[in-house]
Amino acid sequence: SPSLDQMSRTYQQAMAGMLPDEPVLVVGQPTAIDPSRAPQGKHVLWIQVRMLPAEIAGDAAAKIAPAHWDQVKEAYAERVLDIIETYAPGLHAKILGRAVFSPIDLERENPNLVGGDQVCGSHHLAQNFLFRPARGYAGWNTPVANLHLTGAATWPGAGTGAASGFMLAQQLGGR
């Protein structure tokens, strides 16, 4: 996203059920580190769109008619590629194939990703720190003896790699 204001606008649009006009994008090229993930001389471009509505009420850009994700995901993917093309001219011409996953597709693949939520629920203050995943369970414990939780739904939350598992291991190891 070009600015914090745009990120805020994107969040408000998604919360209102609107397809964001300029979504927040996370872009990676895993083949830059692991070339075995594509044929020689080719690359994989991985794009994650942050903050999308699970149910579409409308389009902030007024270009895509509201419908189920199954009907709009390809059109929205084109919007995303058009945005990236402004930073990487010629991108469209280099695409040999693609797979598009909507929030609903993510939930179909993993029912834990309710509405396509990739960060395991709210990251608002009331759902963080001592309250993640729920009050009384921030130490990766559960009501079942010797059963512990790790992952994005636990402290310190999504986007931290294996931090919760590492921290639990430290705790269990007495460090």
Which tens digits make up the pLDDT trace of 122-159? 767 777 778 888 888 888 989 999 999 998 888 888 87
Kindly report the pTM of this predicted structure. 0.79
Taking Cα atoms as reference points, which of 131, 132, 59, 70 lies closest to residue 103? 70
Euclidean distance between CA atoms 48 and 25, whole angstroms: 6
Taking only the tens place, the pLDDT of each residue in 31-83 is: 999 999 999 999 999 999 988 999 999 999 999 999 999 999 999 999 999 99
For the chain, where are the E strands, in sequence order?
18-19, 24-28, 46-50, 58-59
**φ and ψ at 28, to 5 degrees?**
-140, 160
What dihedral angle (degrees, nearest 10) is formed by the CA atoms of 162, 168, 172, 175? 80
Reported confidence tier of residue 91, pLDDT bands at 50, 70, 90: very high
